[in-house]
Structure 1
Amino acid sequence: MIETLMSILFVYVFILLGYMAKRIFQDDMNTKTLTLMSVYFLQPFVTVWGFSTAKLHSEHLYVPLLYLAIIFALLVPTVLLGKMLFADPKERAIFSIAGFVGNTGNIGIPLGIALFGEASVIYTTLINIANVFVVYIIGVYIYSRGSFSIRDSLYNIVKIPIIPASVVAIVINLYDVPLSSQLQEFFKMGAYTGIVLQLFLLGTFLQGIRIKELHPKLFIGTISQKFIIVPLATAIILSFTNLPLFVQGVIFMEMMVPLAVANINLASLYNCRPKDVTSLILLSTLLFMPLLFVLSYVTNHYYL
């Protein structure tokens, strides 16, 4: 538990460093450059390293597939609802996808250890990998649609290197392609750099946000979706499965984690109101802290 708390503390330290750097250097600190470095150069390292940490087995694959199925089942009505609620295409894009891009890695994995023990790591790792595909395929397309045409949005998916990197990593994992210790260390260094840059980038965006400028409808809609609609729908869907309660609890927990920093990458990259997205990430993270007690109660009484 102490190690988990320390890990979360380190997360906030790097966010604070990004905030201070942007506050001190102002316009000299180019967030666009940091975003490009993260998305196009360092995130592929995070993915390849993530696949190298756990061997994939057939009995494990059902969990990330179910996670993706739940997201797809909820995404379609959310997109349709977004078209009715928001006239602005950028607000519509944020509402449609932000709530589904959760922080399944930096928060989900250590929180899984705290609530369920180390037996949860294999499942949280696979769910985090599945979330990569949600972020960099569906997320890229929807955020792009806030500013780009359908054709250009599809092209933006092709340009993202993390998808082919993930395919290569899956092949290496499934076929047991040997990697030297030096190569594994190389990927680990790149992954840790990418994780730190992600957190640092969040801090730079936090420096300039004005929460009072966030559209109330966008805030209420996205937060309600994240912490009410998605968890309730997930619990109902999971109740119809034959999965052990322990595994159901892990999936339920991952669906409740706050919005991921990856939302900022895509919103910034495609000019889809990154300041608003940053405000939503900050607010969802703050709201998640008291909700942790509710989540702990639910998991202890229903899934353990």
Structure 2
Amino acid sequence: MLDVDLSQPLWMLLTFVGLGWICARRLAVDPRPIATLLIYIIAPLTFFRGLVLGGPSVDYLLLTAALFALASAICLAVSYLARPFFAPQEASLLAFSAGTGNTGYFGLPIAMVLLPPEGVTQYLFCLLGITLFEFSVGYYISARGQFSVRQSLTKIVRLPLIYAFIAALIVAGLELPVPGTVLEGLDYFKYCYTVLGMMIIGMTLGRVSMRAIDSRFIIACVAARYVLWPLVSLLAVLALQASIGISPQFAMVLLLLGVVPMAANVVVVAIELNIRPEKGAIAVLLTTLAAPLLIPLYLSALLTLSGLQ
């Protein structure tokens, strides 16, 4: 089933990280306004377009709800376990990173290579659940590392992605027409979403000193991403196969969600909230650098264990 060469798209994504590093080191580009653009403009418009075109059905929205619940559960569990071992800011950032992965900037281009159109749509609605987690529960847990409950909730209310999700559901549910020129214009944002999302990792790394390296934090992040998530995704596939039965295509969707590197949004949110973005950037870079080697190996092993290869 895994007979596609992933090396080119994987290395291209890493090239965007390198370009971001050059921008920070040579052009002194500040990643903060770019993080703000991603959170408040580019991500909401990208997902609004994807949802409108995907035609959210009850089955698709169940995928969104299931991944939202799973990501939230993992985040809350890691938050509880990390508190005795890490300072509040590090614990909150670790919990946020554990609940998500680079399913959008990194995983979506890979999904478009591996999956047919129906599979890409399924992936998109799973991705939406994880993204909603990032900008609701995950954002709240991150903010609670240094803000009060009221301040944290106020920050969530201001996030436009939640409103973009609601607006897309209304448009799709009422079958309101969206002009073709509008959808064509919104199409450009999906390219900005991937390119800037990966470049911001490099921009943050370009401002990092060796003192920012925290081996305990990095090991915990890597374990959550490349040990916990692959195991959870495999168990989910096996459980669904043994109960209701799922297609190989949807099994691939779930397995891919489990093997992507750490989320670039760990850096984006950390910059926006000013909670040690340099620590998150180093961990994100390490898992992203390992991705070209690990993703094909992980997918092959997980497909074999699940009986799909």
TM-score of the pair, normalised by structure 1? 0.89
Partner of 2:80: 80
| Aligned counterpart, 1:62 | 62
- Taking a change above 3 Å as real, the CA distance of residues 233 and 106 of structure 1, as seen in their structure-2 partners, is same
8 Å contact from structure 1 (residues 258, 284) kept in 2 = yes
Q: 1:44 to 1:5 in 2, by over 3 A?
A: same
Which residue is 2:226 aligned to? 227
Question: Matched residues in 2 for 1:208 and 1:120: separation?
Answer: 38
Maintained 8 Å contact 2:233/2:258: yes
1:111-260 equivalence runs, <5 A: 111-210=110-209, 213-241=212-240, 242-246=244-248, 247-260=250-263
Q: Which runs of 5+ in 2 are unaligned?
A: none
State the one-letter code of the partner of 1:91. E
CA drift at 1:61: 3.1
TM-score, normalization by structure 2:
0.87
Of stretches 104-113 and 128-137 in structure 1, the one that deviates more from structure 2 is: 104-113
Compared CA separation, residues 216 and 16, structure 1 to 2 (3 A): closer
Whether the aligned pair in 2 keeps the contact of 1:103 and 1:260 (CA below 8 Å) is yes
Q: Could you tell which deviates more after superposition, 4-13 or 58-67? A: 4-13
**In the alignment, which residue of structure 2 is the partner of 1:37?**
37
Alpha-carbon RMSD: 2.4
**Deviation of 1:9 (Å):** 4.4
CA distance in 2, matches of 1:37, 1:119: 30
**For 1:270 and 1:53, how far apart are their aligned partners in 2?**
32
CA contact (8 A) 1:264 1:274 kept: yes
Structure 2 CA distance, aligned partners of 1:12 and 1:89? 31
Paired position in structure 2 for 1:20: 22
Could you tell me which residue of structure 1 aligns to residue 276 of structure 2? Answer: 273
- Does structure 1 residue 282 correspond to structure 2 residue 281? no
For 2:75 and 2:307, the matched residues in 1 are separated by 25
Distance 2:122 2:106 in 1: 14
- Report the Cα distance in structure 2 between the residues aligned to 1:217 and 1:209, rounded to whole angstroms: 17
> Who is 1:98 aligned against?
97
Deviations 1:153-204 (A, max 9, x none): 1111011112112210122123322111111112222343343332332221
1:279 positional shift: 0.5
Matches of 1:184 and 1:203, distance apart in 2:
30
Distance 1:2 1:221, change over 3 A: closer
Once the two structures are superposed, what CA deviation does each residue of 1:104-153 show, in whole Å capped at 9, x if it has no partner?
12332333344454442111111111122011112211221222111111
The separation in 2 between residues aligned to 1:151 and 1:162, in whole angstroms, is 20
Report deviation, 1:226: 1.2
CA deviation vs aligned residue, 1:17-74 (integer Å, no higher than 9, x gap): 2221211123xx2222222222222222112122133122233333333322322333
Q: Which secondary structure does the structure 2 equivalent of 1:85 belong to?
A: coil
**Could you tell me the percent identity over the aligned residues?**
21
Judge conservation of contact 1:46–1:192 (CA < 8 Å) in 2.
Answer: no
Answer whether contact 1:67 1:251 (CA < 8 A) is retained.
Answer: no
> Retained in 2: the 8 A contact 1:210–1:279?
no
Contact 2:72 2:99 in 1 (8 A): no
Amino acid paired to 2:251: Q
Contact 2:201/2:267, CA 8 A, preserved across alignment: yes
In the aligned structure 1, how far is the partner of 2:101 from the partner of 2:15? 20
Distance in 2 between residues matched to 1:189 and 1:195, nearest whole Å: 11
CA distance in 2, matches of 1:213, 1:141: 24
Matching residue of 2:48: 48
CA deviation after TM superposition for structure 1 residue 264, in Å: 1.2
Alpha-carbon distance in 2 for matches of 1:70, 1:21:
36
CA distance in 2, matches of 1:269, 1:155: 14
The alpha carbon displacement at 1:3 in A equals 9.1
| 8 Å contact from structure 2 (residues 74, 98) kept in 1 | no
d(CA) in 2 for partners of 1:293, 1:6: 12
- Cα 1:292–1:199 change in 2 (3 A) is closer
CA 114–189 in structure 1, closer or farther in 2 if over 3 Å, else same: closer
Larger CA deviation: 229-238 vs 47-56: 229-238
Alignment CA distance shift 1:124-1:211 (3 Å): farther
* Native 8 Å contact 1:45 1:194 kept in 2: no
Q: Which moved more, 1:129-138 or 1:199-208?
A: 199-208
